[in-house]
Structure 1
Amino acid sequence: MPDKSPEMRLERVLDAAATGLVVLDAQGVIEVYNQAAGELLGREPDTMLGRAAAEVLPDNWPELRRVLQTGEPQIGHKLEISGNTIVANRRPIMQEDQVVGVVCTLQDISDYEKLVTELDCYKRLVRLPNAIIESSFDGLWICDAEGKVIRVNQASQRINRIKAEEVVGKSMQEVVASGVVDRSVSLEVLKRREPVTMTQRLPHGKEILVTGNPVMEPDGRLSMVVVNERDITELNRLQRELEETKALNSAYRSQIESLYHERDFLRQVVIRSEAMQRVLSTAVKVAEVDSTVLIRGESGVGKGMFARVIHKASRTKDGDFIRVDCGAIPEALIESELFGHEQGAFTGARSKGKPGLFELAEGGTLLLDEVGELPLNVQVKVLRFLEEGELVRVGGTQARRIETQVVAATHRDLEAMVEQGTFRGDLFFRLNVVPITIPPLRQRVEDIPSLIRFFLGEFNRKCRTNKVLTPAAVDCLCNYHFPGNVRELSNILERLVVLTPGERIDVPDLPAPVQAPPESRPQGEEGWCLSSAVAEVERRLIAQALDNFGSQRKAASRLGVNQSTLARKAKRYGIKSMQ
């Protein structure tokens, strides 16, 4: 007869349970270990009962011991055993507030986790098409084979300014009749059974680009039409923002360049001569008004630096300072570079157009350096801008109003170019509203020692040297005529600091033309004749005066003679006569 004792019945009940059960006493010895626990842990009950858990359950013993020591239960701990996921719940057995054992239940949840994973995958598959449709920035309409609207996404509701319930369930004929759109691409797709693209005009003024695509069944039947629509108005806005961003980036680059040039500006404003102090004072005064400024002077005198002086002292000082070398841009490109171009304006033009330098200088200062190099056709557009404050991009028709301070600079004789027909007279007079003439370095010798000290200090710091010029070397530099002006002086000093081996720079270290300028040496027997030498000095002085002051009247005044005397002497020496 079967054993009907309570102990035996309990043992059978425990072995019949699907949940694994392990019971330890206070010393960690296994008292109960049912059949389900054996199957889950891979150890038969006969080999486990009466043995220490630390010996036969080494992976579980630390957690079981913690429950025995602390009396704190552990619920829902996951274990990975032989590829299966087991959930273990460990609870203390209490007697008179003392832990006298641990009950550990074990539940295999591998099948449940697989079901949950499969359910999650199914939910994701269901959500994915909806998420794609609703997250699309483009509008999406879906119609069935009869042209009835079955789906409209959020983007399409935004573009068309409608609610889905206003059109879902209606035919596209009804939608067109209600005025939501002026024509239907879906109906065209149903008719042609092929993709169709068209534009639609919406009642609120937007123009959208729509493309309808048929969805075909394997048997060749058309089951639905999917329409993609894009707001062209929005694209145009984004394009304008992109152009503005590019212009802003260019402005930032210009600002960075301006910061680099700021050091040069501070370095070059080293003046002691009265003539240069007058020029600087004039530049600061001119900056207070919006009049166009024409800076004249030989190459290297600092025309660009004085343009920055005007910019820094002007009301547009917080804007960009943009310098354009008119002689460095190819003639075929200069109009586009200055005024910009629309898309497709010419072969090679950017597909989205490009703002010109006048536009980039909006709110700032634009320096037209070497303005005498501008082609005649571009001079016309520059004149129109100076007179009207508006420009039209190459290939465009819309005038754009631009607020910018224009400063021009040149080393050329613009009056002579006007007479020759290579420079427009009306543009010259429009540029020459406030003229500033920077004298060459040879006419302000008192500035040379200060410039020498300044440049020498700069290059010593740059090269980590401590070189000095002897007084004789400074005298040679002061006596040199400097055809390259301040730029040439800077270059000479940098070369001396870099190449001179010793700490002292003396006359033999100077370039040969500086040591003994050719015009100061007697040439042959005639060179020692006093009258010939005086005549040569007079010829050079008259030529320089006419070149620097631009007219006989001004030159005669500065030389202290009357105009008729100057004209007679100029004719005698074969110097071009000026009125």
Structure 2
Amino acid sequence: MNVTQLKDWNENEQILHSLKDDILVTNVEGIILKVSEVTGKIYGVESESLIGKSVYDLEAQGLFTPILTPMVVKENKKITFVQTTNKGKKLLVTGIPVYNEQGELYRIVSYSHDITELAQYKEFLFAMEEEMQRVKTELGLLRNKQLHDAGIIAKSADMQKALSTARQLSEVDVNALILGESGVGKSLLAKFIHNKSHRRKGPFIEVNCGAIPDSLFEAELFGYEPGAFTGAHQKGKVGLIELSNGGTLFLDEIGELPLQHQVKVLKVIQEKRFYRVGGTKPIQVDFRLISATNKDLQKAIHEKQFREDLYFRLNVVPVTIPPLRKRTEDIVPLIHMLLQQFEKKYNKKKRLDEAVIHHLLHYEWRGNVRELINIMERLVVLSPTTLITDEHLPDHVKEGASIPSPSIPIEQTLKQMLDDREKQILLAARKKYRTTIRMAEALGTSQPSIVRKMKKYQII
């Protein structure tokens, strides 16, 4: 290094240019005083050509935007934001105020990091999230359609829980016991499990344990050989258990099974083998077992009416279907689904007055979904007009509806009271479901209808 080089050498400048980061120093008027060598590369110019220029002019020329200096001058503190260069790069820029001995703002030092790739990753992730949400929505719609086609509505949390368990059960051949009041849809859920399982191409054999006379139970369940007893068919008969081979055996109303037959059923479940009545050759069967009951089997065990060993064989995984009165979110969607089904079945076009839905929503439904099915079929068949009004409802439904006392003045008209109630339902639905699409799905109506009603009641 010669004398001239020593004179030109500046420690601060060398340190500045040795840094691999973009560093730029301006005065409070925005005139560039110092830059690192990396700065020019970022903006596509020679670093030295920036010295002495105004950041305001450079912004006007499109070199970068927005500019940092006026922000730091105005706020008089450290500022960080994203800047875009003329090359389309995204920079995370930070400006730091520097003060002189009098405490006055003297310089603004800025440094930046190229975050172009990060921004692209963010956009990519955002696009992926949107795509995943779209796929999730489509899967949800497809799943809801499949459930709708199966006649199952599951908007309520308890019903969704039961359905989630049923889906898990469909993947394995474990014994399942479906619990619930009469009419809640136990056989429907059993068919759902079968249709989702690997046995769906096999038979689904339903046995109502409470409907077979004691004297015929063994013959119906196990079948019989020719001439096994007086009156037997000369060719014999294949029993229901044998028919279920390769599929699902559904023992409905298992709680009604007489005590003397329970040990025989237990043996078949344990061994998957049985003898026909009058037969001597064992028959091996392969079936998946699902049972259902509306009885308290533990109470029946305590009363010596049900075998405890059979109970434990049946109750490997229990699934409880809640009564309809405890899953009110499902009532309106069920009403609309049934209306569509019976319209198609009887080739009739019907509409439900809001007062009808109001009565159906507040009725206790002791007969559960089965009772609702009967009522909806009756309304479609017997109502003489297209519009079904509360006049067409059976008296016991109108009288038995547990409609809460209105919290509004009784001087209001029925329409005003119904409007107030509808507004309350919409407010509750918006709070729970957030979007109009999900509100419409939960309430069993269309999204435009929800939007229209929200505008009507000025729900923002």
Q: Give the TM bin, normalised by the shorter chain.
A: 0.5 to 0.7
Q: Is the 8 A contact 1:292 1:433 kept in 2?
A: yes
- Matching of residue 373 in structure 1 with residue 253 in structure 2: no
Report the CA distance between 1:388 and its aligned residue. Answer: 1.3
Q: Offset at 1:277?
A: 1.2
Conservation of the 8 A alpha-carbon contact between 2:273 and 2:284:
yes
User: Equivalent residue for 1:153?
Assistant: none
Instruction: Within 5 Å, give how 1:197-346 maps onto structure 2.
Output: 266-346=149-229
Report if aligned partners of 1:265, 1:305 keep a CA contact under 8 Å in 2. no
d(CA) in 2 for partners of 1:267, 1:487:
15
Tell me the residue number matched to 1:223. Answer: none
Equivalent residue for 2:418? none
- Higher RCO by CA contacts (8 Å cutoff, separation 6 or greater): 2
Q: Which residue is equivalent to 2:338?
A: 455
1:409 maps to 292
Q: Is the 8 A contact 2:364 2:401 kept in 1?
A: no
Amino acid at match of 2:263: V
State the 4+ residue runs in structure 1 displaced beyond 4 angstroms. 518-522
Whether 1:513 and 2:386 are equivalent positions in the alignment is no
Equivalent in the alignment of 2:378:
495
Give 1:267 shift: 4.7
User: Aligned with 1:476: secondary structure?
Assistant: helix
Q: Report the residue type matching 1:296 in the other structure.
A: L
Partners of 1:508 and 1:515 within 8 A in 2: no
- Is this contact kept in 2: 1:342–1:354, CA < 8 A? yes
Question: Which residue of structure 2 aligns with residue 385 of structure 1?
Answer: 268
CA spacing shift, 1:358–1:512, aligned 2, 3 Å: same
Say which SS state the counterpart of residue 482 (structure 1) adopts.
coil
Distance 1:267 1:284 in 2: 13
Instruction: Find 1:465's aligned residue among 335, 343, 348.
Output: 348
Q: How far has the Cα of 1:458 moved from its partner?
A: 1.4
Alignment of 1:148-227 (within 5 A): none
- Tell me the CA shift for residue 519 of structure 1: 6.5
1:434 and 2:317 matched: yes
Equivalent residues of 2:363, 2:401 under 8 A apart: no
Equivalent of residue 480 in structure 1, options 363, 369, 375: 363
Contact 1:265 1:308 in 2 (8 A): no
**Correspondence for 2:231 among 348, 363, 379:** 348
TM-score, reference length from structure 1:
0.43
Query: Which has the larger Rg?
Result: 1
State whether residues 339 and 391 of structure 1, in contact with CA within 8 Å, keep that contact through their aligned partners in structure 2.
Answer: yes
**Given the superposition, is the C-alpha separation of residues 419 and 393 from structure 1 closer, same or farther in structure 2, using an over 3 Å criterion?**
same
Within 5 Å, give how 1:14-33 maps onto structure 2: none
Aligned to 2:442: none
- What is the distance in 2 between the residues matched to 1:406 and 1:462? 33
Q: Which amino acid in the other structure matches residue 472 of structure 1? A: A
Instruction: Report the Cα distance in structure 2 between the residues aligned to 1:344 and 1:375, rounded to whole angstroms.
Output: 26
What is the identity, as a one-letter code, of the residue corresponding to 2:389?
D
**Amino acid across the alignment from 1:400:** I
Q: In the superposition, relative to structure 1, how do residues 267 and 469 fare at CA in structure 2: closer, same or farther (>3 Å)?
A: farther
Alpha-carbon distance in 2 for matches of 1:390, 1:293: 19
- Assess, with a 3 A threshold, how the Cα gap between structure 1 residues 268 and 457 changes in structure 2: closer, same or farther: same
Shift of 1:271: 2.1
Distance 1:374 1:264, change over 3 A: farther
Q: Deviations over 1:440-461 (max 9, x none)?
A: 1000011011011111111122
What is the letter of the counterpart of residue 229 of structure 2?
F
| SS of residue paired to 2:319 | strand
SS in 2 for 1:268: coil
Q: Using the TM superposition, give the Cα deviation of residue 521 of structure 1 relative to its aligned residue in structure 2, in angstroms.
A: 9.5
Q: Which amino acid aligns with 2:349?
A: N
AA matched with 1:268: G
User: What is the identity, as a one-letter code, of the residue corresponding to 2:168?
Assistant: K
User: Of residues 277, 289, 297 in structure 2, which corresponds to 1:394?
Assistant: 277
What amino acid is aligned across from residue 213 of structure 2 in structure 1?
P
RMSD: 2.1
Question: What is the Cα deviation at residue 373 of structure 1?
Answer: 1.6
Contact 1:470–1:505 (Cα < 8 Å) also in 2: yes
Which amino acid is 1:285 matched to?
Q
| 1:445 and 2:445 matched | no
- The CA deviation at 1:511 is 1.3
Task: Describe the superposition over 1:292-332 as per-residue Cα deviations: whole angstroms up to 9, x where unpaired.
Answer: 11111111111111001110111211101111111111110
Aligned-partner residue type, residue 369 of structure 2: V
Q: d(CA) in 2 for partners of 1:264 and 1:512?
A: 32
Length, aligned pairs only: 261
Alpha carbons 2:148, 2:337 under 8 Å: kept: no
Could you say which residue in structure 2 is the equivalent of 1:78? none
Alignment check: 8 A CA contact 1:271 1:450 kept: no
Query: What is the distance in 2 between the residues matched to 1:351 and 1:496?
Result: 48
**Residues 272, 520 of structure 1: alpha-carbon distance in 2 compared, 3 angstrom cutoff:** closer
In 1, the alpha carbon distance for the partners of 2:280 and 2:348 equals: 59
Partner in structure 2 of residue 41 of structure 1 = none
**Whole-angstrom CA distance in 2 between matches of 1:361 and 1:518:** 43
Q: Which residue type is aligned with residue 176 of structure 2?
A: V
Does the aligned pair in 1 maintain the 2:150–2:192 contact within 8 Å? no
AA of the residue aligned to 2:287:
T
Give the % identical residues. Answer: 50
1:419 aligns with 2:302: yes
Distance (whole Å) between structure 1 residues aligned to residue 329 and residue 220 of structure 2: 41
Please report how far the alpha carbon of residue 518 of structure 1 lies from its aligned counterpart in structure 2 after TM superposition: 7.2
Given the two structures, how large is their TM-score scaled by the length of structure 2?
0.54
What amino acid is aligned across from residue 419 of structure 1 in structure 2? H
Rounded Cα–Cα distance in structure 1 between residues aligned with 2:193 and 2:306:
25
Amino acid across the alignment from 2:200: K
Paired residues of 1:342 and 1:353 also in contact (CA < 8 A): yes
**Any idea what the Cα deviations from partners look like across 1:144-177, whole Å, max 9, x if unmatched?**
xxxxxxxxxxxxxxxxxxxxxxxxxxxxxxxxxx
Who is 1:182 aligned against? Answer: none
Residues of 1 paired with 2:277 and 2:148: CA distance? 34
- Whole-Å separation in 1 of the counterparts to 2:238 and 2:380: 44
For residue 342 of structure 1, report the CA deviation from its aligned partner: 2.0
Cα 1:267–1:320 change in 2 (3 A) is closer
Partner of 2:245: 362
| Equivalent-residue separation in structure 2 for 1:350 and 1:439 (angstroms) | 43
Which amino acid is 1:273 matched to? S
* Alpha-carbon offset, residue 369 of structure 1: 0.9
**1:169 matched to which residue of 2?**
none
Report if aligned partners of 2:359, 2:403 keep a CA contact under 8 Å in 1.
no
Distance 1:473 1:265 in 2: 22
User: Helix, strand or coil: the match of 1:295?
Assistant: strand
**Structure 2 runs not aligned, ≥5 long:** 1-145, 406-460
